[in-house]
C-alpha cells in the first residue's frame, strides 16, 4: 500500500465480473486508476481488457461489481461515506463539482461521457469518416453546444449567444488540432486521413468532450515508431494538463515508457498490479504475458508490412 | 472525386484480360436449364383446348424443351459476358460520373437559378392552368422530399412509411377545419404538430432498430395508419373520405366568382380560376422553402451535426455523450412535421381526401426522390422531384409503359450514380476553405 493511486483514485473498480453466457470474460477484477496518472491495463489477447473498458464506459452492463468515479480529491474517509450512501440510494450520481461521485455501472454510455466525464476511444477507429476533421471535434462538444443553441430553438432563430458559443467551440477544436498537428487538414474528411492521423484525431475528439478520465483502447496499434513516440508525448501532455488516462496497450515499449501504474490481466483475472518496475520483475507476468507478447508483436509487425 | 474514379476505371479496362471459366459456365447453365425444364413441364407442356366434345389436353412438350434451351443459352451468354460486362459498366459509370460531376460543382449557382425561376414561373405565358397545377404537385413532392431527407438523408434512418405523416397532417387539417371552422393558417401548424407527435410515437418503438428491420416496421406503420383511416368511420368517414374541406383564403379573401369578400373584388380584378391556383402555388412554394431553410439551418446546428454523426457511426456518437434517443426522435419528429404540413396543404388544395391518396406507393415515390436526388442534398432532391413527378406527367399518354419507363430510368440512374444526382456532401462548418466530401466517404446510415 501507500501507492499514489490508492491515496487518490479517480476510478475505483471493485469486484468487476462480466459474463457472456458461460464465458467469464472478466472475473472479480479490482483495481484503481490514480488521479493525474497514466494507468495501463495490459494482458494477452482475449484477456478481457476491452471488456473492462466497455463496462467502464457503459457499453456493457457488468454482471457484478461497482465502478465509481470521483471528480475531486476530497477527504478519503468522507469520500468513502458518500460512495456508500450513493450505492445504497440506488441513484447514479451524487454531489457536484469536486464532490461529485458517479457509479458508472448504473449509467448508459452517453451519460458516462456527459456526466461522469469519462471519454473513450475504440480499438478499431470509429471516426465520422464522411465528416470533416473539424466537424468531428465539434460533434464531440455536442452537449455544451446544444445548451448554447437553446436546444435548437435559439439556434434556428439565430441568437448571437449561439454564434459566440460556436466560435468558442471552433477555437477549442483548433487548439486541439494544433496539438495533434492537423490544423492544415481541418476541412478534409476524417476518412481521408492516414491511419496514424486518424488515431490522434480520435484521441483529440475524445478530449473535446472535456473528460477527467480518458480511456484509450490500444492507441499505438499500427503506428510506426515515430508516430508511437509522438503519441507518448501527446499522452504525457494530456496527463500534465490535469486529465487522468487509462490505457490498454500491447506495445511494451509504450507501456513501460509512459505508465505510472500497470495492471496486468490474464483470462479476466488480475495477475499483477504495481509500478512498471515492479510489474516487469513479476514472475507471474513474465510467465503469462511477456513471452506471448513477443510473439504477438512479431505477428502484428508482420501484418503491417 | 469523379476524375479519380474514372482514371482508376480506365486503367483497369485494358488490363482486364477475359479469362473465362468455360466448364463452370456450362455447368451453371446446365443447372439453370434443368430448373427451367422442371418448371416448364407443368407450366408449358400441356394445354387445354375447347373442342366440340369438350375440353381436350394438347401436349406441347417441345415448348418445355425450347424454354430450357433458351435458358441454357441465355445463362451461358450471361456467364461469359459477366466479366467484360462488369468492366464495360465501370467504364460507362466513369464516363457518366465525369459528365455529371458538374451537377455537384455548380449546385451553388443552380439553386438560386431554380429559386428565381420558381418565383417568376406564374408570369410566363406558357404557365396555363395545367402547368400551374402540375407545378403545385411537383412542389408538394419537393417539400415531402425535403422533409423525408431529414430522416433518411441526414439521420440515415430508412423510413418507408413517410406517407403516414402526410396522411396524419391531411386528416388532422381536414377534421379540425371541417368541425371547428378554423382557417388554414391556424389549422396548418396544428396538423404539423399532430404529425410531429406521431413521428415521436413511431420513433419510440423503432429506436433500437436499424436497416431492414427499421424499414419493415416503418412500412407497416404507414399501412396501419391508412387502415385505421379506412376503418375509423366515425372520425374519418372511412373509404368515402372527407369532402368540403375549406379552401385557404388570402387574409380572409376568398377565391370565388361571386360573394361578399372575394379576392377578385377586393383587388378590382376580373375573376379567374387561375388566381386561386397561383395563390396555392405561392403557398406551397413558401412552405417548401421554409422546409429547406429550416433544414439548412438545422444542419449547421448541433442537432443536425448529431444527425449526420448518427448516420456515420452511432456507437461513436454515444461514446461522445450524445443522447441518440433524443437525436433520433427529433429527426423523426421534424421530418414528420414537414410531412404533416405538406399533408394539410394537400387537403386544402384537393378539398377532398380519402385513404386512397395515402398508399405505400406515395412513400415509395418520396423515398425515390430522396435517393435519386442524393441523400442529404437539398438541390438534388428538388431536381429529382421535378424530374420524377414532371416525367411521370410527361409520359401520361404512354399509359401502360409509364411504369416501365419509370422503373428502367431508376435502374439506370442507380447504376450510373448509385449515390444520387448530387452525391457530394458539403461540410456544415469550416475553418479555412470549404471542400466537398466525396460520396465514397460519406456513410449512408442503414
Ligand atoms: N459481446 C461479447 N459477447 C461474447 N463474448 C465476448 C463479447 N465481448 C468479448 N467477449 C469475449 O470476452 C473475452 C475477452 O475479450 P476482449 O475483452 O475483447 O479481450 P482483449 O481486449 O483483452 O483482447 C474474449 O474471449 C471474447 O471472445
Ligand atoms: Mg481488445
**For position B117, what pLDDT does the model report?**
79
Which positions in chain A touch B306 (Cβ < 8 Å)? 139, 142, 146
> pLDDT at residue A198 above 50?
yes
Q: Which residues touch B290 (CB under 8 Å, ≥6 apart)? A: none
Q: Does residue B294 sit within a domain?
A: yes
CA distances from B423 to A131, A233, B7, B107, B352 (A): 14, 40, 19, 11, 38
Given A189, A210, A231, the domain boundary residue is A210
What is d(CA A249, CA A220) in angstroms, rounded to the nearest whole number? 7
C-alpha to C-alpha distance for B289 and B342, rounded to whole angstroms: 12
Domain annotation covers residue A121: no
Which value does ipTM take for this structure?
0.86
Q: What is the count of structural domains for chain A?
A: 2
Q: Quick one: pLDDT at residue B108?
A: 63
Regarding whether A10 and A111 lie in a shared domain, the answer is yes
Asked, for residue B431, whether it belongs to a domain, the answer is: no
Is the domain of B75 the same as that of B111?
A: no
- Measure the CA–CA gap between B122 and B61, rounded to whole angstroms: 64
Nearest ligand, CA of residue A54? Answer: 1
Question: Is there a single domain that holds both residue A225 and residue A276?
Answer: yes
pLDDT of A257 strictly over 60: yes
User: Any CB–CB contact under 8 A between B436 and chain A?
Assistant: no
Indicate the average pLDDT of chain A: 83
The answer on A101 and A10 residing in a single domain is yes
Task: Count CB neighbours of B53 within 10 A.
Answer: 6
Q: Are residues A9 and A54 in the same domain?
A: yes
The verdict on A40 and A71 lying in the same domain is: yes
Beta bridge mates, A39 = A246, A261
Mean pLDDT of A204-233: 89
Determine contact, residues A167/A109, Cβ cutoff 8 Å: no
Ligand 1 in contact with A250 (CB < 6 A)? no
**Cα distance between residue B184 and residue B190, in whole Å:** 10
Angle between helices B360-373 and B378-394 (to 10 degrees): 130
Nearest to A187 among B313, B316, B431 (CB): B431
Q: How far apart are the CA of A24 and the centre of ligand 1, in A? A: 9
Q: Does A304 or A214 have the greater pLDDT score?
A: A214
Q: What is the pTM of this model?
A: 0.79
Asked if residue A105 and residue A67 are part of one domain, the reply reads yes
Task: Give the model's pLDDT for residue A74.
Answer: 66
How far is A173 from A204, CA to CA, in rounded Å?
8
User: Containing domain of residue A290, as a range?
Assistant: 4-116+212-304
CATH code where residue A245 lies: 3.40.50.300
Same domain as A281, residue A257: yes
Identify the domain boundary among A180, A195, A210: A210
Structural domains of chain B, count = 2
Domain co-membership, A101 together with A245: yes
Residue A19 C-alpha, separation from nearest chain B C-alpha, in angstroms? 22
Residue A133 within any structural domain of the chain? yes
Nearest to A110 among B308, B323, B434 (CB): B323
Q: What is the pLDDT of residues A128-161, one digit of tens each?
A: 988 999 999 999 999 888 887 777 777 777 777 7
Q: Which three cell numbers stand for residue B385?
A: 422531384
**What local confidence, expressed as pLDDT, does residue B3 receive?**
40
Compute the distance between CA of residue B303 and CA of residue B322 in angstroms, rounded to an integer: 10
Q: Which residue, of A210, A227, A255, is where some domain finishes?
A: A210
Q: Which domain holds residue B329?
A: 105-416
Is residue B309 within 8 A of residue A128, CB to CB? The reply is yes
If asked whether residues A81 and A193 sit together in one domain, one would say no
pLDDT at B90: 58
**CA–CA separation, B192 and B197 (whole Å):** 9
Based on the fold, state whether residues B72 and B111 are members of the same structural domain.
Answer: no
Say whether both A89 and A231 belong to one domain: yes
Q: For atom 6 of ligand 1, which residue has the closest CA?
A: A20
Shared domain check, A204 and A162: yes
The answer on B227 and B122 residing in a single domain is yes
Q: Ligand 2 centroid to A261 CA: how many Å?
A: 19
In terms of domains, do B39 and B188 share one?
Answer: no
Q: Is B428 on the interface with A (CB under 8 A)?
A: yes
Same domain, B366 and B410: yes
Which among B305, B318, B437 has the least Cβ separation from residue A130?
A: B437
Q: Which of B84, B117, B134 is where one domain is finished?
A: B84
Residue B176 falls within a domain, yes or no?
A: yes
B58 and B177 fall within a common domain: no
Query: Which of B84, B114, B131 lies at the terminal end of a domain, its last residue?
Result: B84
Q: Residue whose CA is closest, atom 25 of ligand 1?
A: A46
Look at residue B223 and tell me if it is in a domain: yes
The answer to whether the beta carbons of residues B410 and B324 sit under 8 Å apart is no
> Is residue B183 one of the residues assigned to a domain?
yes
Mutate which of B150, B300, B316 to disrupt the A interface (most A C-beta within 10 Å)?
Answer: B316
**Do B150 and B76 fall into the same domain?**
no
- pLDDT of res. B195: 92
Q: What is the reported pLDDT for A297?
A: 46
Q: What is the mean pLDDT of residues A16-36?
A: 89
> In chain B, positions 156-185, which contact chain A (CB-CB < 8 Å)?
none
Q: Confirm whether B442 is domain-assigned.
A: no
Decide if A76 is inside a domain. Answer: yes
Query: Do B176 and B227 have their domain in common?
Result: yes
In chain A the first and final C-alpha atoms are separated, in Å, by 44
Query: Residues of A with CB below 8 A from B431's CB?
Result: 134, 170, 174, 177, 183, 186-187
- Considering the domain architecture, whether residues B60 and B199 belong to the same structural domain is answered as no
Query: Is the separation of the CB atoms in A157 and A163 below 8 Å?
Result: no
* Residues B312, B389 within the same domain: yes
What is the model's pLDDT at position B197? 93
Q: Do B425 and A126 make contact, defined as CB atoms within 8 angstroms? A: no
- B37 and B174 co-located in one domain: no
Geometric angle at alpha carbon A228, from A223 and A232, rounded to 5°: 145
- Number of helices (H) and strands (E), helices first, in chain B? 17, 4
B332, part of any domain: yes
User: Is there a domain that residue B210 lies in?
Assistant: yes
Q: How far apart are CA A136 and CA A143, in angstroms?
A: 14
Judged against a pLDDT cut of 60, whether residue A295 lies above it is answered with no
Residue, of B60 and A219, whose pLDDT is higher: A219
Least confident of A55-59, A295-299, B81-85, B124-128: A295-299
β-pairing verdict for A261-266 and A38-42: parallel
- In order along its 446 residues, chain B shows pLDDT tens digits of 344 444 343 333 344 444 556 777 788 888 888 888 888 888 777 777 777 777 787 777 788 888 888 888 888 887 777 655 555 555 555 555 555 555 555 556 777 777 887 777 777 777 777 888 888 999 999 999 999 999 988 888 888 889 999 999 999 998 888 888 777 888 889 999 999 999 999 888 887 787 788 888 888 988 998 999 889 888 888 888 888 777 777 766 677 666 666 766 666 676 677 777 888 898 899 999 999 999 988 998 899 999 999 999 989 999 999 998 899 999 999 999 999 999 999 998 888 888 888 888 888 889 888 888 887 788 888 888 888 888 877 777 776 777 787 778 778 877 777 777 777 778 888 877 777 777 777 777 66
**A171 and A273 part of one domain:** no
With respect to residue A185, please indicate whether it lies within any of the assigned structural domains.
yes
Mark whether B145 and B286 lie in a shared domain. Answer: yes
What are the pLDDT digits (tens) for B279-298? 889 889 999 999 999 998 89
Amino acid at each position: 500500500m501507500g501507492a499514489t493511486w490508492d491515496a487518490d483514485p479517480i476510478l475505483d473498480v471493485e469486484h468487476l465480473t462480466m459474463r457472456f453466457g458461460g464465458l467469464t470474460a472478466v472475473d472479480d477484477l479490482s483495481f484503481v486508476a490514480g488521479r493525474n496518472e497514466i494507468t495501463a491495463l495490459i494482458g494477452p489477447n482475449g484477456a478481457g481488457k476491452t471488456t473492462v473498458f466497455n463496462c467502464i464506459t457503459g457499453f456493457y452492463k457488468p454482471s457484478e461489481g461497482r465502478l465509481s468515479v470521483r471528480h475531486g480529491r476530497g477527504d478519503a474517509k468522507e469520500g468513502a461515506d458518500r460512495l456508500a450512501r450513493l450505492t445504497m440510494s440506488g441513484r447514479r450520481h451524487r454531489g457536484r463539482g469536486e464532490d461529485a461521485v458517479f457509479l458508472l455501472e448504473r449509467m448508459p454510455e452517453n451519460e458516462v461521457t456527459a456526466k461522469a466525464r469519462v471519454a473513450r476511444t475504440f480499438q478499431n477507429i470509429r471516426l465520422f469518416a464522411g465528416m470533416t476533421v473539424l466537424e468531428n471535434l465539434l460533434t464531440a462538444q455536442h452537449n455544451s453546444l446544444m445548451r448554447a443553441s437553446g436546444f435548437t430553438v435559439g439556434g434556428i432563430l439565430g441568437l448571437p449567444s449561439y454564434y459566440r458559443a460556436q466560435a468558442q467551440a471552433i477555437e477549442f477544436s483548433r487548439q486541439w488540432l494544433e496539438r495533434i498537428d492537423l490544423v492544415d487538414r481541418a476541412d478534409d474528411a476524417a476518412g481521408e486521413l492516414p491511419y496514424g492521423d486518424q488515431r490522434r484525431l480520435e484521441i483529440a475528439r475524445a478530449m473535446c468532450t472535456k473528460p477527467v478520465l480518458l480511456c484509450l483502447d490500444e492507441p499505438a496499434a499500427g503506428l510506426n515508431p515515430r508516430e508511437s513516440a509522438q503519441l507518448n508525448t501527446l499522452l504525457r501532455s494530456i496527463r500534465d494538463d490535469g486529465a487522468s488516462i487509462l490505457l490498454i496497450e500491447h506495445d511494451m515499449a509504450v507501456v513501460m515508457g509512459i505508465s505510472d501504474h500497470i495492471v496486468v490481466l490474464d483470462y479476466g483475472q488480475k495477475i499483477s498490479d504495481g509500478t512498471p518496475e515492479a510489474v516487469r520483475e513479476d514472475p507471474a507476468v513474465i510467465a503469462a504475458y511477456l513471452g506471448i507478447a513477443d510473439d504477438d508483436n512479431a505477428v502484428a509487425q508482420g501484418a503491417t508490412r | 472525386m469523379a476524375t479519380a474514379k474514372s482514371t482508376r476505371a480506365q486503367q483497369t479496362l485494358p488490363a482486364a484480360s477475359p479469362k473465362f471459366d468455360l466448364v463452370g459456365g456450362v455447368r451453371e447453365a446446365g443447372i439453370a436449364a434443368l430448373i427451367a425444364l422442371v418448371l416448364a413441364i407443368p407450366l408449358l407442356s400441356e394445354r387445354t383446348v375447347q373442342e366440340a366434345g369438350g375440353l381436350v389436353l394438347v401436349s406441347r412438350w417441345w415448348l418445355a424443351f425450347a424454354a430450357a434451351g433458351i435458358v441454357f443459352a441465355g445463362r451461358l451468354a450471361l456467364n461469359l459476358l459477366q466479366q467484360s460486362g462488369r468492366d464495360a459498366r465501370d467504364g460507362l459509370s466513369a464516363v457518366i460520373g465525369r459528365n455529371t460531376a458538374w451537377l455537384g460543382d455548380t449546385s451553388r449557382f443552380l439553386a438560386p437559378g431554380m429559386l428565381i425561376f420558381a418565383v417568376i414561373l406564374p408570369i410566363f405565358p406558357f404557365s396555363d392552368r395545367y402547368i400551374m397545377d402540375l407545378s403545385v404537385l411537383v412542389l408538394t413532392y419537393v417539400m415531402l422530399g425535403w422533409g423525408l431527407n431529414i430522416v433518411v438523408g441526414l439521420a440515415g434512418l430508412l423510413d418507408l412509411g413517410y406517407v403516414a405523416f402526410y396522411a396524419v397532417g391531411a386528416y388532422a387539417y381536414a377534421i379540425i377545419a371541417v368541425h371547428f371552422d378554423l382557417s388554414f393558417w391556424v389549422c396548418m401548424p396544428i396538423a404539423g404538430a399532430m404529425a410531429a407527435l406521431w413521428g415521436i410515437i413511431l420513433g419510440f418503438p423503432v429506436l433500437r432498430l436499424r436497416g431492414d428491420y427499421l424499414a419493415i416496421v416503418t412500412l407497416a406503420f404507414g399501412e396501419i395508419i391508412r387502415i385505421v383511416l379506412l376503418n375509423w368511420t366515425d372520425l374519418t368517414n372511412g373509404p368515402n373520405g372527407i369532402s368540403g374541406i375549406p379552401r385557404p383564403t388570402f387574409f380572409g379573401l376568398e377565391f370565388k366568382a361571386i360573394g361578399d369578400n372575394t379576392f377578385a373584388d377586393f383587388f378590382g380584378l376580373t375573376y379567374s380560376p387561375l388566381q386561386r391556383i397561383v395563390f396555392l402555388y405561392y403557398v406551397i412554394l413558401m412552405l417548401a422553402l421554409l422546409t429547406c431553410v429550416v433544414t439548412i439551418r438545422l444542419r449547421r446546428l448541433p442537432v443536425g451535426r448529431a444527425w449526420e454523426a448518427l448516420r456515420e457511426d452511432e456507437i461513436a456518437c454515444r461514446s461522445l455523450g450524445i443522447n441518440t434517443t433524443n437525436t433520433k426522435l427529433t429527426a423523426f419528429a421534424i421530418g414528420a412535421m414537414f410531412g404533416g404540413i405538406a399533408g394539410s396543404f394537400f387537403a386544402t388544395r384537393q378539398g377532398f381526401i380519402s385513404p386512397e391518396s395515402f398508399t405505400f406507393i406515395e412513400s415509395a415515390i418520396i423515398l425515390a426522390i430522396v435517393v435519386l436526388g442524393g441523400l442529404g442534398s437539398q438541390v438534388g432532391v428538388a431536381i429529382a422531384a421535378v424530374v420524377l413527378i414532371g416525367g411521370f406527367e410527361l409520359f401520361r399518354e404512354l399509359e401502360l409503359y409509364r411504369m416501365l419507363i419509370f422503373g428502367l430510368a431508376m435502374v439506370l440512374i442507380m447504376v450510373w450514380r448509385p449515390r444520387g444526382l448530387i452525391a457530394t456532401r458539403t461540410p456544415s462548418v469550416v475553418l479555412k476553405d470549404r471542400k466537398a466530401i466525396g460520396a465514397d466517404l460519406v456513410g449512408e446510415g442503414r
